[in-house]
């Protein structure tokens, strides 16, 4: 088998085979590579670096990339639908309104949807069954007595929101209480009260070497002016002293600024596949900061991307189950339709997407069950209750409508619904097929009655 060797040229990947054959491929563009892509918000995080080849970045399908600083974040995995967004707030606060949600297709490769496509859903909503109605105020009460017995104070009066009372959470505009000043025409004595202590006077030293035992005294003052005592009528003076002393203890040592030590070697690459990062660190220890000295300026860590060139494993995912096969008894030539005779049916699914030594899907690839064949069998029916209202259609546009329905549902035969299988295990028996129910006509219909209604107070269209 010929052995290739590779040479990189600008914009081309050139592969030389030992047989002399030469092939060229267009090289993917360089991008900004991120180690996380959020499927819900379609955003990237954890920048690994720029100037990384898109093909290398997407060796890990969980990664994302941008084609430039202003570009949208794109997923490395195959195109798929995001989760539905949260429902928007209801368009009105009372009675019936509408709310909308959306989802978007994202991914850089062909998948189950078209990249960039967006879908919307809209439904009716009601936060409360009635709208608020404001009430009216009662008459004001009489004024209260003055709040003080000397000098000036306040008096107040009140009213209640009961004339009439508000309905459904309504209120009364305005205040429920009024206040106004009142004068007693009496003079009050003013008792003295200390003001705040002033700042401590500075100690005679600013900084000292470690081990200094000097303890000079410092003092502070306060004044009896918060307020000062009155003279007519006489107020009480402040109690205690206006001067305070303390020893100067814990004087600061002279500060010593820190300085960086050398950078340590790069750590190993953080991943074994795709693109990761390497870390290089240094410490502020040559010397370390001391006694309030400044820390070293700058960062203590540097990050650099590393490309392994190895694709990451992709685990397999189950497809949806196929439809159940026809309920029948194979090999006996027996017709079991519309009879109390059990048959067998099966369904299958596939495990897709496994790549690069990823894990296979857990579980069975096929399953079978015991069944009764009631396909097209005529059964007695009964009308169901009204279903919930459907989503509003269209979700964006003029005159959206909602529907609900009642259906003629079949009443299934009273057959045994379990059977003893192998090793004495009890198995359930399932009805299979689409029977034909018979109900008395309802509003002129035999199988289904549909009711339509407009969606009210709908939201404006977006995008």
Q: How far is CA 226 from CA 191, 196, 263, in A?
A: 9, 8, 60
Residue 463, pLDDT score: 65
Residue 309, pLDDT score: 87
DSSP state of 59: T
Helix (H, G, I), strand (E, B) or coil at 423: helix
DSSP state of 234: B
Mean pLDDT throughout 172-185?
90
Please say if the pLDDT value at position 235 is more than 90: no
Q: Which helix (H) or strand (E) holds 57?
A: helix 54-57
Residue 255, pLDDT score: 78
Residue-wise pLDDT tens digits, 87-133: 999 999 898 999 999 988 888 777 778 888 889 999 999 888 889 99
- Banded model confidence at residue 208, pLDDT cuts 50, 70, 90: low
Mean pLDDT throughout 167-189?
88
Residue 406, pLDDT score: 96
**Maximum pairwise Cα distance, the chain:** 123
Residue-wise pLDDT tens digits, 415-435: 999 988 777 889 999 999 999
Q: Are 275 and 240 in contact (CB under 8 A)?
A: no
Please say if the pLDDT value at position 382 is more than 60: yes
Residue 100, pLDDT score: 93
DSSP state of 109: B
Rg (CA), the chain: 41
Question: Could you tell me what percent of the chain has a pLDDT over 90?
Answer: 42
Residue 8, pLDDT score: 36
What mean pLDDT is reported for the chain? 85
Residue 461, pLDDT score: 85
Residue 422, pLDDT score: 75
Tokens of 209: 């070497």
Mean pLDDT throughout 389-412?
93
Q: What contacts 24+ positions apart, CB below 8 Å, involve 46-51?
A: 48/275, 48/276, 48/277, 48/305, 49/275, 49/277, 49/304, 49/305
d(CA 97, CA 127) in angstroms, rounded, equals 9
Please say if the pLDDT value at position 2 is more than 50: no
Please say if the pLDDT value at position 330 is more than 50: yes
Q: Are 55 and 31 in contact (CB under 8 A)?
A: no
Q: Are 138 and 163 in contact (CB under 8 A)?
A: yes
Q: For the chain, how many helices (H) and strands (E)?
A: 1, 26
Residue 10, pLDDT score: 35
**Half-sphere exposure for 215 (CA within 13 Å, toward CB):** 6
Q: 111 or 289, which is more confident?
A: 289
Which residues, 6 or more positions from 1, have their beta carbon under 8 angstroms from its beta carbon? none
Mean pLDDT throughout 158-167?
93
Residue 9, pLDDT score: 34
Which residues, 6 or more positions from 160, have their beta carbon under 8 angstroms from its beta carbon? 137, 138, 176
Q: Are 220 and 187 in contact (CB under 8 A)?
A: no
* Ramachandran area for residue 18 (φ above 0: left; ψ -120 to 50: alpha; else beta): alpha
Provide the 10 A C-beta neighbour count for residue 130.
11
Mean pLDDT throughout 437-460?
93
Tokens of 445: 């219909």
- Least trusted range by pLDDT, from 138-142, 375-379, 394-398: 394-398
Residue 214, pLDDT score: 60
Tokens of 359: 């894990």
Mean pLDDT throughout 360-387?
94
Residue 24, pLDDT score: 38
- Banded model confidence at residue 449, pLDDT cuts 50, 70, 90: very high
Please say if the pLDDT value at position 196 is more than 60: yes
8-17, 26-35, 209-218, 392-401 — most confident range:
392-401
Mean pLDDT throughout 149-161?
89
d(CA 396, CA 461) in angstroms, rounded, equals 5
Provide the 10 A C-beta neighbour count for residue 58.
26
pTM: 0.52
Residue 300, pLDDT score: 86
- Residue in 76, 98, 96 with CA at minimum distance from that of residue 88: 98
DSSP state of 376: T
- Residue in 441, 456, 443, 431 with CA at minimum distance from that of residue 324: 431
Mean pLDDT throughout 143-171?
90
Mean pLDDT throughout 294-315?
89
- φ and ψ of 54, to 5 deg: -60, -40
Residue 338, pLDDT score: 94
Please say if the pLDDT value at position 172 is more than 60: yes
Mean pLDDT throughout 53-67?
91
């Amino acid at each position: 088998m010929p052995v290739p060797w590779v040479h990189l040229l600008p914009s081309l990947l050139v592969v030389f085979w030992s047989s002399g054959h030469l092939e060229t491929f267009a090289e993917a563009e360089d991008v900004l590579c991120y180690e996380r892509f959020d499927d819900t918000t379609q955003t990237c995080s954890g920048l690994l670096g720029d100037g990384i080849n898109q093909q290398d970045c997407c060796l890990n399908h969980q990664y994302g990339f941008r084609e430039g600083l202003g570009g949208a974040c794109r997923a490395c995995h195959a195109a798929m639908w995001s989760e539905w967004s949260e429902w928007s707030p209801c368009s009105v606060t009372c009675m019936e309104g509408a709310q909308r949600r959306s989802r978007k297709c994202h991914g850089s490769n062909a998948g189950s949807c078209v990249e960039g496509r967006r879908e919307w859903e809209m439904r009716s909503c009601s936060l409360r069954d009635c709208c608020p109605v404001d009430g009216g105020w009662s008459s004001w009460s009489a004024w209260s007595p003055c709040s003080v017995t000397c000098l000036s104070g306040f008096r107040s009066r009140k009213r209640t929101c009961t004339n009439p009372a508000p309905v459904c959470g309504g209120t009364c505009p305005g205040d429920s209480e009024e206040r106004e000043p009142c004068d007693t025409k009496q003079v009050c004595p003013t008792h003295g009260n200390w003001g705040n202590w002033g700042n401590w006077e500075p100690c005679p030293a600013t900084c000292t070497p470690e081990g200094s035992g000097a303890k000079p005294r410092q003092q502070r003052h306060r004044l009896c002016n918060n307020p000062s005592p009155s003279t007519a009528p006489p107020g009480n003076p402040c109690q205690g002293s206006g001067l305070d002393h303390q020893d100067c203890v814990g004087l600061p040592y002279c500060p010593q600024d820190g300085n960086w030590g050398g950078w340590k070697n790069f750590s190993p690459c953080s991943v074994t596949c795709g693109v990761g990062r390497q870390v290089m660190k240094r410490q502020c220890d040559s010397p370390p900061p001391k006694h309030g000295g400044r820390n070293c300026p700058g960062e203590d860590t540097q990050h650099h991307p590393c490309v392994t060139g190895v694709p990451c494993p992709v685990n397999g995912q189950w497809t949806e189950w196929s439809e159940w096969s026809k309920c029948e008894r194979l090999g006996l030539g027996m017709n079991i339709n519309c009879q109390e005779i059990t048959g067998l049916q099966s369904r299958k699914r596939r495990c897709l997407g496994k790549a690069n030594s990823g894990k296979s899907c857990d579980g069975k690839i096929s399953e079978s069950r015991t069944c009764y064949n009631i396909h097209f069998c005529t059964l007695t029916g009964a009308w169901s209750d009204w279903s919930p209202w459907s989503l509003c259609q269209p979700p964006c546009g003029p005159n959206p409508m909602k529907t609900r329905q009642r259906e003629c549902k079949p009443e299934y035969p009273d057959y045994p619904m379990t059977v003893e299988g192998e090793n004495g295990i009890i198995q359930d028996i399932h009805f299979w097929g689409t029977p034909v129910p018979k109900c008395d006509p309802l509003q002129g219909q035999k199988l289904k009655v549909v009711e339509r209604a407009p969606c009210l107070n709908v939201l404006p269209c977006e995008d």
